[in-house]
């Protein structure tokens, strides 16, 4: 039987644009299974990024629940929610969000350093070697290619051994070869480290390499397909 790591119940998000009410998500009920890769797809403006932000604790819903290991993360106060995000959730941003004045190794270890989490040195070395960053540790982001910067962003997300990793269009700013490399790395991390991924993507190759595809339209899940 599959283990549900994340679940939403009646999840909704409503924004006001001037006097106009915009429903970004409308009563979404989904289950995310541990150690699987779930892709979220759909046209621009359908609510994909909003869903990702709500699932990862980066934005609060208008109504509904997000249960991580059975606990509603939005029942936590802001301090506890921040602690949850820093300790058990990883996030890979489309634009990488690397700090320009920190070296590669400093960017990778930053989340653990900020949270005062003691990271496993052997595990860190494994990540660095797997991602091919061995000879780039003292470089700054401006000295790296887009693909190399993405690898640093992946390493940064992995350093805390999070329960679940969210990625927002992780191949959106990469060339084809670097995008293919990201998919290989993700599959390897999923298999070897039993990591759970939830990925918003327009990349059909990435979606088809996942275990499940959730299709959104107008703020609703219209299809939930096992790949």
**Residue 40 belongs to domain with CATH number:** 3.40.50.300
Q: pLDDT grade, residue 32 (50/70/90)?
A: very high
Q: ∠ CA 74-45-98 to the nearest 5 degrees?
A: 65
Say yes or no to pLDDT of 1 above 80.
no
Asked if the structure places residue 115 within a domain, the reply is no
Asked if the structure places residue 201 within a domain, the reply is yes
| Residue-wise pLDDT tens digits, 121-153 | 888 998 898 888 999 999 999 999 888 898 899
pTM, to two decimals: 0.89
Please give the residue range of the domain that contains residue 44.
Answer: 4-98+162-226
Asked if the structure places residue 112 within a domain, the reply is no
Asked if the structure places residue 220 within a domain, the reply is yes
> Looking at the 3D structure of the chain, how many domains does it have?
1
| Residue-wise pLDDT tens digits, 95-111 | 888 999 999 999 999 98
| Residue-wise pLDDT tens digits, 58-90 | 999 999 999 999 999 999 999 999 888 888 899
């Amino acid at each position: 039987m599959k283990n549900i790591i994340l679940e939403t119940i009646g999840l909704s998000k409503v924004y006001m644009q001037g006097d106009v009410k915009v429903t970004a998500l409308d009563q979404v009920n989904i289950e995310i299974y541990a150690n699987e890769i779930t892709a979220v797809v759909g046209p621009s403006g359908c609510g994909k990024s909003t869903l990702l932000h709500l699932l990862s604790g980066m934005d609060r819903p208008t109504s509904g629940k997000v249960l991580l290991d059975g606990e509603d993360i939005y029942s936590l106060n802001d301090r506890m929610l921040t602690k949850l995000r820093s300790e058990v959730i990883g996030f890979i941003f489309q634009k990488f969000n690397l700090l320009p004045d920190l070296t590669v190794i400093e960017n990778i270890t930053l989340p653990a350093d900020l949270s005062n989490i003691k990271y496993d040195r052997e595990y860190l070395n494994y990540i660095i070697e797997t991602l091919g960053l061995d000879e780039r540790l003292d470089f700054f982001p401006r000295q790296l290619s887009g693909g190399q910067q993405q690898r640093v962003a992946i390493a940064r997300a992995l350093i805390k051994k999070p329960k679940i990793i969210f990625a927002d269009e992780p191949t959106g700013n990469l060339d084809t070869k670097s995008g293919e490399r990201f998919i290989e790395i993700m599959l390897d991390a999923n298999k070897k480290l039993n990591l759970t991924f939830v990925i918003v993507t327009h990349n059909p190759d990435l979606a088809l390499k996942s275990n499940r595809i959730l299709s959104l339209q107008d703020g609703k899940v219209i299809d939930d397909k096992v790949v």
